[in-house]
Amino acid sequence: MTASVLPPDFEWGFATAAYQIEGAVNEGGRGKCIWDTFCHQEPSRTKNASGDIACDHYHKFEEDFDLLSKYGAGAYRFSIAWSRIVPLGGRDDPINEEGIAFYNQLIDSLLRRGITPWVTLYHWDLPQALHDRYGGWLNVDEVQKDFERYARVCYERFGDRVKHWITLNEPWIQAIYGYATGGNAPGRSSTNPHCTEGDTAREPWIVGKALIMSHARAVAAYNQDFRAEQKGVIGVSLNGDYYEPWDKNDPKDAEAAERRMQFHIGWFANPIFLAKDYPDSMRKQLGDRLPPFSLEEFKTLAAAQTDFYGMNYYTSQFAKHCAEAAPETDVLGNVEEHQSNKQGESVGEASGVHWLRSCPGMFRKHLTRVHSLYKKPIYITENGCPCPGEDKMTREESINDPFRIQYFKDHLDAIGKSRQDGSIINGYFAWSLMDNLEWSDGFGPRFGVTHTDYDTLERTPKKSALLLKDMIADRQRPHASL
């Protein structure tokens, strides 16, 4: 018999984000966030959808946690809305006790069910007051101080029960979609005709540094003042596709694939996990538009010992080099991204959104590469897909989701294979617990393992939700050697 592919203590569950599910934006003392503003722009930038009600998790969390129990989940990853805790966001602004009480209810309800809470401090919902006050993420010095204070409040109020912290969710998306393409809040771009403000050539790189230093301040604070007593762990969730050369015989495409991953992942992972400067390829292309780290900042990064690498993974692509020099507004590393290679071979089977194809083989390579580079235990903090055509399906059609079931199976197998490669991968969170507001795509794509009727807010389990426990358990049992 072989050793089991996944260990008996493999952590698994489901993930959500506050703005996508909570609703109740004007209840419980919550302040406004940048997505409240963005979702109500005219003309609509989010397909006339908003998080005003979303899935109404604020009032229905007990029902939602009953689903977690029904699905057999051992853990649940959710985010705290910064503006529910500190409505105006700043380090000298009042704390909202109603917001504290709400999240205390959530945490206690999970623990009563034997479900481990994993808390994300920031999932894209910056308090609008900070954006108005000093530019939010565009002010590196101010925002990191305010984020540290907010993090400290969360550690103080919840850290006796919360032992797993994630500082930031997908800082790449916040920086690029928020400040380069303008497709996400706060919607700043100099290349997007729908945007009236922004500088695509410079702002995303400033925001990136602000996010990195905010993470570092929050981790350093935990390490210094909370870890010894609370005995928790803290990490960050980074997104990033895996890239292979468009032409496997062209060294320039091989270089482009690696460079694309450096721009996608190394941008944040090098400073956070290695306390090193940005990748050389970024410095070479961006020059002085990429803000430097001071010696003091490198000391802060070195002090911010981060326990685990949270990986949000959905798909992979092919990278083709560009013959011309990159324009100032390029944010990809001067590469073309393709879903088919030079031979016309698709990277994977199409899902229910154009950008996501199922590529479990590349997922294995991605896991192995990331673990080899950064040498931290990996938790998959998001992974999932909508089924082809699911956005137009009836509830009865949507809850029968064989594509999602196969996607989960294949990606769990890839995790097992990467562990055999020597990678340490300790957990998996399926995205998402329920269909929800898919940011600027509104209520179209359905990533949930639970069907949400947006008219009645009724929840209906999909087959994948009920089978995930069995899929994981099957990989924790010894199997005969091949």
What span, in angstroms and rounded, lies between the C-alpha atoms of 253 and 244? 8
170 is catalytic: yes
336 is catalytic: no
DSSP, residue by residue, 94-109: PP-HHHHHHHHHHHHH
Which single residue is written with the structure tokens 């490669």?
A: 421
What span, in angstroms and rounded, lies between the C-alpha atoms of 450 and 457? 11
Query: Cβ distance 246 to 338 under 8 Å?
Result: yes
Q: Which of 22, 142, 382, 390 is catalytic?
A: 382
Q: Environment class of residue 336 by beta-carbon count within 10 Å: exposed (0-12), middle (13-18) or buried (19+)?
A: middle
Q: Which two tokens stand for residue 404?
A: 């999602």
Closest CA to 184 of 420, 20, 294, 409: 20
Q: Environment class of residue 291 by beta-carbon count within 10 Å: exposed (0-12), middle (13-18) or buried (19+)?
A: middle
CA atoms within 13 A on the CB side of 41: 21
Structure letter (DSSP) for residue 356 = -
What span, in angstroms and rounded, lies between the C-alpha atoms of 63 and 352? 27
Residues in the chain: 482
Residue 15 CB contacts under 8 Å (≥ 6 apart), including other chains? 76, 77, 78, 118, 381, 382, 429, 430, 431, 432, 433
CA atoms within 13 A on the CB side of 459: 24
Which single residue is written with the structure tokens 């060294």?
A: 251
Structure letter (DSSP) for residue 262 = I
Q: Which of 22, 148, 170, 203 is catalytic?
A: 170
Pairing of strands 308-312, 378-382: parallel
DSSP, residue by residue, 17-42: -HHHH---TTSTTPPPBHHHHHHT-S
Give the active site residues.
170, 382
